[in-house]
Structure 1
Amino acid sequence: MKAAQITSFGAADVLQINDVDRPAPGAGEVLVSVEASSVNGHDVIVRSGEVKMISGRRFPIGVGLDFAGVVAATGAGVEGYRVGDRVWGMVHPRQRHSVAGAAEYVVVPAERVSHAPVDLSAVDAAALVVAGSTALIALRDSVHLADGERVLVRGAAGGVGTAAVQLAHAMGGHVTALARDRHAELLTDLGADEVLDHRSTTSDEIGPFDVIVDTVGTELHCYRSRLTKGGRMVTVALSPSALAAIAASSIHGSRRIRTFSANPETPVLRAVAGHVTSGALRPVIDSVYPLADIAAAHQAFERGGVVGKHVMTVPRSSL
């Protein structure tokens, strides 16, 4: 089969589509015939070599954190899934994989997949696995957003940002989206009550907010200062500067900057599917690439200015 792999640490051109053995599911595992995967910051960081302690230095390394497709086979002891079922899921972000989601087939433990929403195409589903799960965990589990609270979503036009705007709106928040002016119409349609241009709006000009969801990772201490007395802030951008700000904020107790590593298993994926089915959450896709053009997809991600997600399809006939 074909699989996208990192052959050395570096820029997007280190990505290659290689011929590898098709995996077989072991006990408790599911083999998924992948139809789509998306580009995530995690994939880019692994490729760059910034997290060698997690990925290791042995090549090739599989790329593609998420996937959407159909069950091709199940291992012993797996219940609830049959061949042909439409599923979505993630490989474990803190484990090394020689083959990951950007491949024709991927094997994962059964607890790392869930049935995909029936009304979503594979491309749409792939756009929501990481974005939807991350936004849900941030709002529901990390900052515990309550009905009527004022929410700032920073980096609102990105994959996690667009999902966070929708879910915060669905959870009863009054949502302020910080993005570019040209995205105002889209973000308003997604549920934002107010859209501010991040290029002309400084942190001391806005707020206060009960909840801040950050996807950018810079100036965190400035935005933390815009919290109400009982406010909570979470960032999903784990740059070195962000980690330093998170550590320094620990003295502020409940108003510290929180973070987490999104690692959704079946219950979270089911919850995201529920929001899709209810109409509260829909995918936002910037562009779609065939898997053979994964390097171009990574380059587009790194250029920034993305609206939603870059998704890759896995058209076997063209690989």
Structure 2
Amino acid sequence: MKAAQITSFGTPDVLRVTETDRPSPGAGEVLVAVEASSVNGHDAIVRAGGLRMVSGRKFPIGVGLDFAGVVVTTGPGVEGHRAGDRVWGMVHPRQRHTVAAAAEYVVVPAERIAPAPAGVPAVEAASLVVAGSTALIALRDSVQLKDGERVLVRGAAGGVGTAAVQLARALGGRVTALARDRHAALLRDLGADEVLDYGTTTPDRIGPFDVVVDTVGSELNRYRGRLAKGGRMVTIALSPPALAAIAASTVHGARRIRAFSANPGSAVLAELAGYVTSGALRPVVQGVYPLADVAAAHEAFERGGVMGKHVLAVSR
């Protein structure tokens, strides 16, 4: 089978699509024929060598976190999934993978997949797995968004940002999106009550907010300062400056900056599918690339300035 792999740490040109053996599922595992996988920040960090404690230094290293596809076969002890089921899921982000989700086939534990939302093409479904689950966990669990609260989403045009705008609205939030002005119309269509141009809007001119969801990682303390009494802030950015700001904010108690690494299981994925099926969450796909063009997809991701996700379409 074909699989996208990292051949050394570096820029996107270290990615290669190689021939490798098709894996077989063990006890409690499922073999999935991958139809699509999206490009995520985690992939770029692993590729650049920023997570060597997890990925190790032995090459090749698999790339790709999330996928949508079809169950081929199951290992012993698996219940609730059978060949032909359409599923979506995610490999474990804190484990080494020689073959990951950007491949023709992937093996994952059964508790890391769930039925994909019915009627949604694989490319669109794959764009929502990491982005949607991250936004859902951030809003529901980390900051516990309540009905009627004022929410600021920084980096609202990105994959997590577009999902956060929609899910915050679905959870009853009054949403302000901070993004490039050219994305304003689509963000309003996704549910933002207000869209602010991040190029001309400074933190001291906005707020206060009950909740801040950050996907950017810069100026975290300035945005934390825009929280109302009882406000909460969460960031998905885990760069060294962001980690320093998170550590320094602990003195502020409930108004500290929260952080987490999304690692959804079947229950979260099933809940996410419900939001898609109901129409509360819809995919935003910027570009679709064949698996052979994985390096080009990573290059486009790193250029930024886009609306939504870059997705790899896998064909056999």
Structure-to-structure mapping, 1:106-117, within 5 angstroms: 106-117=106-117
Runs of 4+ aligned residues of structure 1 deviating over 2 Å after TM superposition are: none
Counterpart of 1:28, as a letter, is G
Alignment-mate amino acid for residue 49 of structure 1: G
Counterpart of 2:149, as a letter, is E
Report the equivalent of 1:7.
7
1:16-39 C-alpha deviation (Å, 9 max, x unpaired): 001000000000000000000000
Letter matched to residue 48 of structure 1: A
**1:119 Cα deviation from its structure 2 partner:** 1.6
* Inter-partner Cα distance in structure 2 for 1:271 and 1:65: 19
1:25 matched residue in structure 2: 25
Partner of 1:104: 104
Query: With structure 1 as the length reference, what TM-score do the two structures score?
Result: 0.99
Partner of 1:51: 51
Residue 182 of structure 1 pairs with residue 164 of structure 2: no
CA RMSD between the two structures: 0.4
Give 1:144 shift.
0.2
Q: Match of 2:299, as an amino acid?
A: Q
Which whole-Å CA distance do the structure 1 matches of 2:125 and 2:267 have between them?
16
Post-superposition shift, 1:229? 1.0
Code of the aligned partner of 1:23: P
Letter in 1 for 2:72: A
TM superposition shift of 1:242: 0.4
1:83: which partner in 2? 83
**1:114-263 alignment to 2 at 5 Å?**
114-263=114-263
- Aligned to 1:23, what secondary structure does the other structure show? coil
Identity of aligned residues (%): 77
Give 2:143's aligned amino acid.
V
Q: Distance in 1 between matches of 2:74 and 2:289?
A: 29
Please report how far the alpha carbon of residue 278 of structure 1 lies from its aligned counterpart in structure 2 after TM superposition: 1.1
**Given residue 293 of structure 1, which amino acid in structure 2 is its aligned partner?**
D
What is the TM-score normalised by the length of structure 2?
1.00
In structure 2, distance between residues paired with 1:20 and 1:306 = 33
Distance in 2 between residues matched to 1:67 and 1:174, nearest whole Å: 31
Q: How many residues align?
A: 316
Q: Secondary structure of the residue that 1:201 maps to in structure 2? A: coil
Query: Which residue is 1:73 aligned to?
Result: 73
Distance (Å, rounded) in 1 between the aligned partners of 2:299 and 2:18 = 19
